[in-house]
Amino acid sequence: MILTNATIATLTDDTSFGLIADGAIAIEGDRIAWVGASRDLPAQYHGEAAQDLAQRLVTPGLIDCHSHVVFGGNRAAEFEQRLNGASYEEIARAGGGIVSTVTATRVASEEDLLKDALTRVDAMIAEGVTLLEVKSGYGLDRDTELKMLRAARAIGTLRPIHVRTSFLGAHAVPPEYAGRPDAYIDEVCISTLQAAHAEGLVDAVDGFCEGIAFDAAQISRVFDAARALGLPVKLHAEQLSNIGGAQLAARYGALSADHLEYASDTDAAALAQSGTVAVILPGAFYTLRETQAPPIDAFRAHQVPMALATDCNPGSSPLASLLLTMNMGCTLFRMTPLEALLGVTRHAAQALGQTDRGTIRPDALADLCVWDAAHPAELSYRIGFNPLHSRIFQGAQ
């Protein structure tokens, strides 16, 4: 496949969009073979039928590197109760909150989980997402965690999208282990991770390090188990308070530390040292009406790569739009349009350890988006507007 007369944002380094005006891309199989100015297209490609893109913008396919798209039910009723005055604690005591999603996920069939997830995934694909990370963590028992991960894997067989799974058994303490988080980690979480890995269902291991979830010592045991299986780790860290999650992630050389509203300058330095990506999740910040923004300036100063993701989940971020996420990153956190686009391409790929994509260069996977846009800043600028023209997935339209 040959594409010509394109405006290409190659994103091959962190300092610019890497724009090529009147550019061309040659694709062989599922890989990019050549990229450059149309006039420099090598002679070997001249005989091929080329698609003239009429100066449309081409970017790498978008990557949503943090989602919980597989879950049962939804929490619209709880959203309404809160707006009618009920407190989060009252709702939680009445069996609502995250536990209500665990209950709904446990009773749902794998088919129903998959069907519901696909409605969200289809919205993401329509906006140009070609790689999606999906977490478990609403099962919190062996069978349901495995069921969630199987549903996540099935997404990639039914739709033109790559799926990377993260095991998030350490997401919350299930009701049957209330008050006994250590017992849950040691009796359920670690053995479920081992079982899921044995089935080939796990690409990375995640945890929720927070006062309302697990402390650093508990997460460490899960990370040690991950390490023994040769699996990379990532962590929900410093979302609601600072309890040492970012430092823990750095110590384990995590692929990413996610949320980070309460991270410090020292945390940013540690993440830079370990090459850990800071994944910024403005959808949860917005939904929870959080007021403390993540320390973007510190990440910049220490050159921590920043990714942006939806955190699509039924409680704190019922958001399936990665384009809106980019806009929120810019408007809420003052990220630049370049940082936003790097955050859903090159840096998101790094957060998943998938460094053969997220940029447009020879040998990279040919996952591309073609946009009805002239400049990449347009992708972050509009709200509720989808300029996707077409998508190329693994070298095919």
Q: CB of 239: closest distance to Fe ion in angstroms?
A: 8
Residue 333 near which of Fe ion, ligand DI6, none (CB within 5-8 Å, type-dependent): none
DSSP single-letter state for residue 186: I
Determine the residue with CB nearest ligand DI6: 315
Q: CB of 347: closest distance to Fe ion in angstroms?
A: 17
3-state secondary structure of 389: strand
- Of 65 and 379, the one with the shorter C-beta distance to Fe ion is 65
| First vs last C-alpha separation in the chain | 10
Distances (CA, A) of 302 to 244, 264, 269, 274, 276: 18, 12, 6, 12, 12
Choose the stretch contacting Fe ion; rule: CB under 5 A; options: 12-20, 158-166, 262-270, 307-315.
307-315
* Encoded tokens for 174: 């299930």
Dihedral sign, Cα of residue 106, residue 107, residue 111, residue 112: negative
User: What's the rounded Cα separation, in Å, for the pair 385 and 34?
Assistant: 31
Residue 316 near which of Fe ion, ligand DI6, none (CB within 5-8 Å, type-dependent): ligand DI6
Q: CB of 137: closest distance to ligand DI6 in angstroms?
A: 7
Q: Which residues bind ligand DI6 (CB under 6 A)?
A: 98, 101, 171, 208, 236, 239, 284, 313-316
- Of 184 and 208, the one with the shorter C-beta distance to Fe ion is 208
Distances (CA, A) of 360 to 58, 146, 224, 322: 9, 35, 36, 20
Residue 101 near which of Fe ion, ligand DI6, none (CB within 5-8 Å, type-dependent): ligand DI6
- Of 98 and 233, the one with the shorter C-beta distance to ligand DI6 is 98
3-state secondary structure of 195: helix
- What residues are paired with 50 via a beta bridge? 2
- Of 313 and 350, the one with the shorter C-beta distance to ligand DI6 is 313
Member of 127, 141, 311, 339 binding Fe ion (CB under 5 A): 311
Residue 165 near which of ligand DI6, Fe ion, none (CB within 5-8 Å, type-dependent): none
* Encoded tokens for 18: 């890497």
Question: How many residues comprise the chain?
Answer: 397
* Encoded tokens for 173: 């303490």
- Of 316 and 354, the one with the shorter C-beta distance to ligand DI6 is 316
Site residues (CB under 5 A) for Fe ion? 311
